Structure 1
């Protein structure tokens, strides 16, 4: 059963176009000129209950705008959407109690008070019973390992500790849908891993539906099997992570182990050398040339071992959104 249904969703903004110069500024007071910015354009997708889906795209692609639409914070220009049967921008109380939005760039906790005070406020806002509040808080603080930090003012916590507190605040009313917008931005590797492990365990146990946006591909690979990719406000892919690599990667990596304790000269004529640690060398080769390049290398050099692998997901995503691949993506 679908938890989220989005059909031809769009959001267009009118942005004031300011001209340079005194005369143009005065003229702008009398006759203002605007240009249209399509933050989200004709996006459609469906997410089943209990799915955790990555929502990927470069900065300015429309990811956050889409999450704001699904959270009811803004109203679309076109299209429709339902979350758990509710139209988000109607802002019904029944819907507000069933979802949470967590962003790594904005905080919902009171800065000068201990996080537990904010949790108590959320308890009252969402009308959580005293018994449920205590059991949920105990469960979340144990899973996130923040029990000893509950009485510390939020401003004294590290960024990773604050994010774990943000997750508690978002989950204390046990929502059915969770929107995560860059939840690990700025966190160190250890904090990122803690957040990943918690989300994986909590989502599996509670069966909640999750949409995750992140520029950190380790988050995506650790948590999601499916990804929706948008660029310039338009959806360009909806499928598994492996399909992203198959569909958009233009290269593969050949790892060679030479028989001698060195790598021979001239090997770079077959591709881009990514790593050279004699007698091992990694070569990036265009997909359609892999068979031919391997045949030539094996016939020319004394090779002890060879393997061919796909490029890392983060490299493929970076290539997909680079300026020289935008035109290619837009035509897919």
Structure 2
């Protein structure tokens, strides 16, 4: 469902005489099969956000090739939008001053979702995510947890084959975080939705992902199961400590 082959992305920064090239991603290759739930980890500045922007068509790779749901993201961005859903935890896709229900209705028109199908999907998602009490509330008045549930619903209304999640539980309280994790797990299991999750919350990774990829300095540093990840630093018991050791290069990686 996702194929990344020897991808690089460079940026030129600075002014005139002080210009230099920054390689955000270097020779990155991986595939994600249909129905997988994969965690994509890395420290700040490692290249995670750049990768996500290339996968969703916001950026074009400098080198290499990307396909998502059979499409080149940067060249077929409009067509790809109908095959993927995207949630950025720190940026909403909802209309700030509109009631939540009206935002969903606008999304229905944008994606040309049949009215009957839309109503059925919205009822299902509303029930699973508990949206009923605030569907008439303007988005700007929602709590962070309520808004995140609204953003996830918005990303799924057109029934995408691929769901890209960037920090979907950031700032959520314990109860809201547990509800979000349960919903995403069920969505993956029952609908076969392919999910790529980037997060700094390793609890999300442990509870949701069967496979983990770790990127550092633009390179893929690890790709394997959680058990494989723990085995890289057998003396550490917590996943947080294992990942910290990987970030600092103090482990034998499985990439």
Q: After TM superposition, give the deviation of residue 328 of structure 1 in Å.
A: 6.1
1:38 pairs with one of 5, 14, 23: 23
Q: Distance in 1 between matches of 2:78 and 2:88?
A: 21
- How far is the alpha carbon of 1:75 from its aligned partner? 0.6
Q: Which runs of 5 or more structure 1 residues have no equivalent in the other structure?
A: 18-30, 253-310
- Across the aligned residues of Structure 1 and Structure 2, the Cα RMSD in angstroms comes to 1.7
| 1:329 Cα deviation from its structure 2 partner | 6.9
- The aligned counterpart of 1:294 is none
Instruction: Give the equivalent residue in structure 1 for 2:7.
Output: 9
Question: Which deviates more from structure 2 when the two are superposed, residues 120-129 or residues 106-115?
Answer: 106-115
1:77/1:327 CA distance change after superposition, 3 Å: farther
Counterpart of 1:236 (choices 221, 233, 236) is 221
Q: Distance in 1 between matches of 2:6 and 2:101?
A: 41
> SS of the residue aligned with 1:10?
strand
Residue segments in structure 2 that go unaligned for 5+ positions in a row? none
**Aligned 1:233-312 pairs, distance under 5 A:** 233-247=218-232, 249=233, 251-252=235-236, 311-312=237-238
Contact 2:4/2:66, CA 8 A, preserved across alignment = yes
Q: Which residue of 1 aligns with 2:140?
A: 155
Q: Which residue of 2 aligns with 1:179?
A: 164
Deviation at 1:320, TM superposition (A): 2.2
Which segment drifts farther, 96-105 or 85-94?
A: 85-94
Q: Which residue of the partner structure matches residue 178 of structure 2?
A: 193
Higher normalized contact order (CA 8 Å, seq sep 6+, divided by chain length): 2
Relative to total residues, which structure has the larger strand share, 1 or 2? 1
Aligned residues, how many?
A: 255
Aligned-residue offset at 1:208: 0.8
Structure-2 separation of matches of 1:327 and 1:208? 35
What TM-score comes out, normalization by structure 1 length? 0.74
Verify: 1:82 aligned to 2:5, yes or no: no
> What pairs up with 1:123-138 in 2 under 5 angstroms?
123-138=108-123
Shift of residue 192 of structure 1?
A: 0.9
Range that drifts further, 182-191 or 137-146: 182-191
- Among residues 243, 249, 254, which one is paired with 1:326 in the alignment? 249
TM-score, normalising length: structure 2: 0.95
